[in-house]
A and B are shown apart, each in its own frame.
Chain A
Amino acid sequence: MIRTENLTKVYQMGDAEVYALHDVNLDIQDGEFIAIIGPSGSGKSTLLNLIGCLDKPTSGAVFIDGINTGKLNENGLAEIRRRKIGFIFQQFNLVHTLNALENVALPMFFAGVKRETRLKRAEELLAKVGLGDRIYHKPSEMSGGQQQRVAIARALSNDPEVVIGDEPTGNVDTETGNTIMGLLEGLNKEGRTIIVVTHDAEIAARAGRTKRMRDGKVLD
């Protein structure tokens, strides 16, 4: 279970303080599929980054399975990112020098998984996202949709309970977007918690619950 407590992120812009996130209290149950929508600049990415332990809040806290992540040191946070969370970016963010297989295996490399094991599992994951025939392709040799599917496979690499997607369909066409949503729905059926940010009302409608944000706040 994920819980945020008065989660606040303030950016200092010159003299002005920008509240990217303002006292957000949000509970997300295990196995939930939640979509977050809202206008640009409303703080959606900021919220996901904090939940995903990619950034630190100005005040407030994120609890993951009862652990106050604000109390963890750098390595503790890295461990949460590695074991509990799979993050999918809008820009895919694959490592360009590595092929699909190696990209998917990379989180397992950092988790200290044996080479044969991680390559085998990476291959299975790529097959699962429908890229079994593209495992040796470099990111530059794949379409946006294919790259995003590699990113999804990579997010699953250490078998996380939570998958977070910041506009995972934002850079692909509608049809590919549907495929990706289908994959996420499948992951949800496996019992994983899915949190996605989207601009697309249709996609949001497929989630179990939708939350709307505005001006750094989550509306009821």
Chain B
Amino acid sequence: MIDKFLLAYRSIREKRTRSILTVLGIAVGIAAIVSLMSVGYGMEEAITGELMGMADMISVMPGKITGHTYVELGSFTDRDVKDVQRISGIKDITAMTYDAAEVKYRNKRAPVFIIGGDTKELGSFYVEPVGIKEGRWLRENDFKGCVIGHRVANDFFDDIIHVNDKLIINGDKFIVVGVFEKASTLYASDVDPFIFLTLHASKEALQTDEVKYIMVRVYDIDEAEEIAEEIKEVINDNHGLDDFAIAMTMGSMIEQIGTVFNIIRGVLVGIAAIALVVASIGIMNTMLMSVMERTHEIGVMKAIGAKSSDVLSLFLIESSMVSLVGGVVGCVLGAVAAKVISLSAGTALGIEFGAVVKPEVLLGGMAVAMVVGVLSGFYPARKASRMSPVEAVRYE
């Protein structure tokens, strides 16, 4: 038995070019499967991961959504905020003012939305998930300091804004104390185009006391829907209106995204299936060719006394060795390719995600390499070993 392995190894080593080509043929197929699946899982995880991180949030806004547009109906009062705070099951609450302001940087003016709120609360909602790229987050006594979103810093004005640069907001001078990182997709529309101020500073700059947005975090995600209902009732009561406030749980948004996600997953499964078929055909082809061109050798072995089963087991060992190496190389190539694809796709699409190389996928890739490789080596080997020695020897 050991001798057979040695013999198989010899034949692989001596026919180096042929073996390398066969290994590559298998590896490319397996790499295709592994990389596609890993990129797919990476996307899935990036999206669900982020959604799960937000699943305990409820956004409360004074207005209603008709179709796809939000219509503001007024603003919240301090009483609204206090009443909501009293609802049980709420972990965090932050009230924000929110309005457009005229902002001037060097010689350029632009309208930018300002968000103001309790610095600690606001920080817990945005700083943790997005991160500060330059400088620091706001402090309670930063009356003349501001933190700006990524797009404000890079896109809105002629020059890129850095920490310690000065902005004029509605005529008041502010110093940039921090710049946000570029936010991931889910937070981008909440952070990137905004300037953040302390509650006090924003009230001054915007000349308003109005609360335009309340964000709530709950302890138990399962209670989120109920709490959202309660929030709506409390605020509607305060204002004596039926439809004054909307309170949206992230959970309900996740459900909507879930449907989209099933479609994405379906597409991925389809791509993987195609990759599997293409890989299998490639492996079969290389294996068939490499064994078929050795029909002569099989004939010679039989002519000098080898039984069909001897020849078959030799070729089985050889194709398993080649398939094994091909599978391993394919898995490595696939994992590397997945990382590269996810990096470049991430940059191109502006989403940040890493490929997730699951052990199941690697095992599956190995299994495909072994099963398809060995079977497609077995078939021509059996065919050749069943020929009469004369026939096989004559085969060129």
A residues near B, CB below 8 A? 49, 52, 54-56, 74-75, 78-79, 81-83, 87, 89, 93-98, 102, 106-107, 109-111, 115, 154-155, 157-158
- Closest beta carbon of chain A to B340's beta carbon, Å: 37
- B310 CB contacts on chain A under 8 angstroms: 110
Give A107 to B393 CA distance when docked, in angstroms: 16
Are B15 and A83 touching (Cβ within 8 A)?
no
A186 nearest CB across to chain B (Å): 21
Q: Does B389 contact A (CB under 8 A)?
A: yes
Kindly state whether residue B332 has any CB partner on chain A within 8 Å: no
Contact of A95 (CB < 8 Å), options: B297, B302, B308, B390:
B297
For chain B, give the interface size range. 20 to 34
> Could you tell me if B388 and A56 are in contact, using CB atoms closer than 8 angstroms?
yes
| 19 residue pairs A–B, Cβ–Cβ below 8 Å | A54-B303, A54-B388, A54-B389, A56-B388, A75-B308, A78-B302, A78-B305, A81-B302, A81-B389, A82-B306, A83-B305, A87-B304, A93-B300, A95-B301, A107-B304, A109-B3, A110-B304, A110-B305, A157-B304
CA distance A157 to B310 in the complex (A): 18
In the complex, which residues 276-320 of chain B have their Cβ closer than 8 Å to any Cβ of chain A? Answer: 296-297, 300-310
CB neighbours of B10 from chain A (8 A): 97-98, 102
**Residue B11, interface by CB 8 Å:** yes
Given contacts A54-B388, A110-B310, contact A154 B14 (CB under 8 A): no
User: Shortest distance in angstroms between A166's beta carbon and chain B's nearest beta carbon?
Assistant: 10
Interface string of B355-396 (1 = CB under 8 A from A): 000000000000000000000000000000000111101000
Task: Tell yes or no: B7 within 8 A of A by CB.
Answer: yes
Provided the pairs A93-B300, A115-B3 are in contact, do residues A110 and B15 lie with their beta carbons within 8 angstroms? no
Q: Could you say which residues of chain B place their CB within 8 Å of the CB of A75?
A: 307-309
Query: Which B residues are in CB contact (< 8 Å) with A111?
Result: 305
Contacts of B303 in A (CB 8 A): 52, 54, 81, 87, 89, 93
**B interface list, Cβ under 8 A from A:** 3, 7, 10-11, 14-15, 296-297, 300-310, 388-391, 393
Complexed CA–CA distance, A32 and B54 (Å): 95
Q: In the complex, A94→B297 CA distance in Å?
A: 8
Question: Distance in Å from the Cβ of A83 to the closest Cβ of chain B?
Answer: 7
Residue of B nearest to A114 (CB): B3
Q: Chain B contacts of A94 at CB under 8 A?
A: 300
* Sample of 12 further A-B pairs with CB below 8 A, known A94-B300, A110-B307: A52-B303, A54-B388, A54-B393, A55-B388, A75-B307, A78-B308, A79-B305, A81-B302, A81-B304, A93-B303, A95-B297, A97-B14
Compute how far the CA of A126 lies from the CA of B301 in the bound complex, rounded to whole angstroms: 19
A58 to B297, CA, bound (A): 25
Instruction: Report the Cα distance A106→B298, complex, angstroms.
Output: 13
Inside 8 A of A102's CB, which chain B residues have their CB? 10
CA distance A195 to B145 in the complex (A): 106
CA distance A158 to B14 in the complex (A): 26
Contacts of B388 in A (CB 8 A): 54-56
Chain B min CB distance to A217 (Å): 20
Q: Which residue of the partner chain, among B301, B308, B393, contacts A89 with CB atoms under 8 Å? A: B393
| B389 closest partner in A (C-beta) | A54
Residues of A within 8 A of B306 (CB): 78, 82, 110
A54–B389 alpha-carbon span in the complex (Å): 5
Query: B308 touching A158 by the CB < 8 A rule?
Result: no
Which residue of chain A has its CB nearest to the CB of B300? Answer: A93
Known: A97-B15, A109-B3. Contact between A54 and B390, CB under 8 A? yes
The 10 closest A-B pairs by CB, nearest first: A82-B305, A97-B14, A54-B389, A55-B390, A78-B307, A110-B306, A107-B304, A81-B305, A97-B11, A54-B390
Task: Say whether, besides A93-B300, A97-B10, A158 and B390 are in contact (CB < 8 Å).
Answer: no
Complex-state Cα separation, A87 to B306, whole angstroms: 13
- Do A93 and B393 contact each other (CB < 8 Å), given the known contacts A74-B307, A87-B304, A110-B310? yes
Expressed in whole angstroms, the Cα–Cα distance for A74 and B395 within the complex equals: 20
Bound-state Cα–Cα, A130 to B211, Å: 104
Docked pose: A97 CA to B393 CA in angstroms: 16
Inter-chain contact B389/A55, CB cutoff 8 Å: yes
